[in-house]
Structure 1
Amino acid sequence: MVTPKVLCRGGTAIKPEQLPRSDGSTEREQPPPRRRRRRLAIAAVAVVAVAAAVIGVSAALTGGDPEEQPEVSGVVARPDQSPPRELIAAGRVAVSAYYTTKLVQQPDGDAVNGRQWSLYDPTAERYEKTDWAWVDVAPGMKTAAVLEGDLPAGRVGLMNLSTGEVERWIEVEKGVGGVQFSPDGERLVATAYSDHPDGLFRDAPVRVEGAPGGGKGQEMPGPKQSRTGFYVIDVDSGKAVFRERPAKKDSLAAMAGTGRQDFSWSSDGRTLWEQRLDRPGRNYYDVNGRLKSQPQRKTDAILPPVVTSPDGKRATGGFAGSKDGRIVSAVLDARTGERSAVVPGQQLLAWADNTHLIAWLCDPGQCKPGKGEFRNQLVLVGLDSDEVTPLSGFRAAQLDHAGRWTPVFTER
């Protein structure tokens, strides 16, 4: 049976593995202070013991030989923590931040479905709550782009994660509601809005069937399609170029329950895309805002959006039913969109390497299709085995639980 190499943060390791840093150097981490070593060693043993208790017996789901599957390096598991307090990582990626959501009522009858962000602090070696309205972390996990206050924000901050200080502010004339680093970390796309993208407005009502009050439904505050365009920001120079790309008023954003229609980078960083709401698929644009005419791929219609493996050969697919009593999801050929494998998990989130993924998986003792699926945890799964390695503790079973957290993954 092939098992991942599990390490504890701070230098204490079970099967040590020196990982190259994201900046290309091979400098080793400094050992922890002497007074912490015994405590970390005990914690490391506990992590492995808990993980081993719930790892299934290896049996191939796709006919592959699990012994041929390479190990995953640098696995940092916290199976007793939800939300996590300390770093979670596997292979090339780590949970750089996570957020919870909370509906905040406004004095005028409006509301905001706001996010409470927790960001990994490499100095404290733990996740810390922040007051930022939006966070995205650059590859290498040294810099974060942040937005402050009530969205849309008038500037984008670039924060040094080691010091927690914003080293530079980039002013924008059009308020922005979300930012994302390009895959190489050299640019940002910042989506501009005239109203809060996560706001619910009394003057944009939607009718909700089965809402409190009974009858034929009740009008509730709804989202506004207020996107105006996007900025492409050069991180080094701070130059921000705006391109007008307003939201289409005939889209189905209101049915989606949100006014957020952010632009995202393609995996190669050459184009930008938005999810279509009027029909399945995506719209692609160049960085100058020009719509690109290119064939739609089968993977473009999948929600949540697919994530492509580092080698570009595979992509995450959707829920694929159950196999041997366990919920599974599909892995697709990135070029054709055809299924190439199924792996344990309800939702595939990130690639640890070319053959292993991080997924949400529900509690095997409670999980059945349509029941108990919301009590889930982060796990590491492989293409050629049904073995799972827990990375986090379980989230609460209630979908609207206040502590229900959503991870953000970044290449480290």
Structure 2
Amino acid sequence: MKSGQLVHEDLEGTAEGVRRAGRGWKFGVRRRKVRRFLLAGIVAVLIGAGVAVALGAYKGEEPVQRPAGVAARPDQSPPRQLIAAGNVAVSAYYTVKAEKRANGDGALAYTWSLLNTTTGRYEETDWARLDVAPGMKIAAVLERGLPVHRIGMVNLATGKVERWIKTEKGVGGVQFSPNGKRLVATTYDINPDGLFKDAPYRLNGKMVPGPKPSRTGFYVIDAASGQADFVARPPRKDDHGLVVGGGRQDLAWTRDGKLLWEPWATKAGRVFYSVDGRQVPVPKSEERLSSPGAVSPDGKLVTGRFVGGSDRIVSEVLDARTGKREALVPGQQLLAWADDDWLIAFRCDPEQCLPAKSEFRNQLILASLDGKHVIPLSGFRTRSLGDTSRWNPVLSIR
């Protein structure tokens, strides 16, 4: 991964059968079948200081040198203290549950826990949405009651809002650019996480409240000055004139921070826009890749898809230039590079989930690129996707 480039996780949440997955990554065969709506994920950045802890047992022969600054919490799920390895750390995590609202409506409600850079511990917040700038000093936050007309800039050492950036349009999602100098703030007419009685869909033979696409566009904001330029970009439609996706349709930055993108049914899995809203061709750096994976620090490799099955749990690593498979690494989902030789991933316990029985009872691991070594970083998440205590990490570079 390039220096200063953000890494994000496939933000995962389940409530009353509504599955939302972010930014194109896939966990496994059964999970892919139940995804209904796309959710742009939220990205954050890490603190600079590591926390030294016991690593716990790793599997395999003595590995290549482990990344610096490994902080493993194999007994914590969700984590209470910093989890980190090499270039990457868990900077925040969230849980999600479905709430009932008036008149038969509902919403997906997110609870965010953010790393306090002074204490090295995760603290629950009351923000509806957040993202963290490179350097782990400032977070952009949105208040509850989305969409909202101001973006708070929070000092992560104190948890206090230092200033507000006001917007004319209502904002429902926000993300820093990889260098932290700009924000993209996606705007909506109504709550992008809302579930509405008059937009039902069929779930297990029953009609339940569903999302409504209401995106109006986006702001590109200078983080230092607060200067915000609005671009209209309503929900995208397919060849038949139908809106694709759910209520949340946040725009995200490309890895180099030059373009914006949203998920779409193309070979690259995305459609790209300039910062002034013009659709542009797929960049050459993306055209051979099937997902917006994380790039290794030396820029040579990129994480790919889950390619395992009933007999093994592996995901592929690709040549960043050609898209050719270069390695298979243990894990259902490769999330980020700790360094050029180690990756952070989600993986279920092979002794319990093969053949695919408990694939959702998984934990964060540190896995070597050669596929021989695994170090647990967190405890196991609950195997029930509908459990509101099931936490979803945000991974960021230091």
TM-score, normalised on structure 1? 0.80
CA RMSD of aligned residues (A): 2.6
3-state secondary structure, aligned to 1:321: coil
Unmatched tracts of structure 2, length 5 or more: 1-44
Of 220, 224, 234, which aligns to 2:222?
Answer: 234
What amino acid sits opposite 2:235 in the alignment? Answer: A
Of 256, 267, 273, which aligns to 2:255?
Answer: 267
1:387 corresponds to 2:390: no
Q: 1:376 to 1:253 in 2, by over 3 A?
A: farther
1:72 corresponds to 2:67: yes
List per-residue Cα deviations over 1:295-336 (Å, max 9, x = no partner). 67456543xx4222233221111111159x541111111222
Contact 2:236 2:244 in 1 (8 A): no
Match of residue 357 from structure 1: 343
Match of residue 219 from structure 1: 207
Q: Distance in 2 between matches of 1:255 and 1:371?
A: 31
What amino acid sits opposite 1:166 in the alignment? Answer: V
Contact 2:95 2:389 in 1 (8 A): yes
Contact 1:227 1:247 in 2 (8 A): yes
Structure 1 outlier segments of 4+, above 6 Å:
21-24, 251-255
1:403 corresponds to 2:389: yes
Measured after TM superposition, the shift of residue 83 of structure 1 is 0.2
Measured after TM superposition, the shift of residue 100 of structure 1 is 0.4
Contact 2:300 2:321 in 1 (8 A): yes
Q: Distance in 2 between matches of 1:398 and 1:338?
A: 35
Q: After superposition, where does 1:321-360 map in structure 2 within 5 Å? A: 321=308, 326-360=312-346
1:178 corresponds to 2:173: yes
Q: Distance in 1 between matches of 2:287 and 2:354?
A: 28
Report the number of matched residues: 352
Of 155, 160, 177, which aligns to 2:155?
Answer: 160
Q: Distance in 2 between matches of 1:113 and 1:409?
A: 22
1:378 corresponds to 2:364: yes
List per-residue Cα deviations over 1:25-59 (Å, max 9, x = no partner). xxx89xxxxxxxxxx99xx4xx33xx11xx2113x
Contact 1:156 1:171 in 2 (8 A): yes
Match of residue 235 from structure 2: 247
3-state secondary structure, aligned to 1:366: helix
Match of residue 306 from structure 1: 293
Contact 1:327 1:369 in 2 (8 A): no
Contact 2:46 2:90 in 1 (8 A): no
Of 278, 295, 314, which aligns to 1:290?
Answer: 278
3-state secondary structure, aligned to 1:220: strand
List per-residue Cα deviations over 1:347-399 (Å, max 9, x = no partner). 11111122211000102331114211111100001112421011100001111
3-state secondary structure, aligned to 1:352: strand
List per-residue Cα deviations over 1:101-133 (Å, max 9, x = no partner). 010110121111111100001223210100000
Q: Percent identity at matched positions?
A: 56
Q: After superposition, where does 1:85-234 map in structure 2 within 5 Å? A: 85-208=80-203, 210=204, 217-234=205-222
Measured after TM superposition, the shift of residue 225 of structure 1 is 1.1
Contact 1:144 1:159 in 2 (8 A): yes
Q: Distance in 1 between matches of 2:46 and 2:392?
A: 24
Contact 2:69 2:84 in 1 (8 A): yes
Q: Distance in 1 between matches of 2:376 and 2:139?
A: 27
Q: Distance in 1 between matches of 2:46 and 2:72?
A: 20
3-state secondary structure, aligned to 1:386: coil
Measured after TM superposition, the shift of residue 94 of structure 1 is 1.0
Q: Distance in 1 between matches of 2:380 and 2:200?
A: 36
Q: 1:70 to 1:90 in 2, by over 3 A?
A: same
Q: Which has the higher contact order (CA 8 A, sep 6+)?
A: 2
Q: Distance in 2 between matches of 1:380 and 1:386?
A: 11
Q: Distance in 2 between matches of 1:406 and 1:334?
A: 27
Match of residue 60 from structure 2: 57
3-state secondary structure, aligned to 1:57: coil
What amino acid sits opposite 1:87 in the alignment? Answer: L
What amino acid sits opposite 2:380 in the alignment? Answer: F
3-state secondary structure, aligned to 1:108: helix
TM-score, normalised on structure 2? 0.82
3-state secondary structure, aligned to 1:401: coil
What amino acid sits opposite 1:317 in the alignment? Answer: G
List per-residue Cα deviations over 1:220-275 (Å, max 9, x = no partner). 2111111111111101101011111110244899875x311111111111111111
Match of residue 11 from structure 1: none
Q: Distance in 1 between matches of 2:250 and 2:72?
A: 31
Q: Distance in 2 between matches of 1:151 and 1:230?
A: 15
Higher helix proportion, which one?
1
1:320 corresponds to 2:307: yes
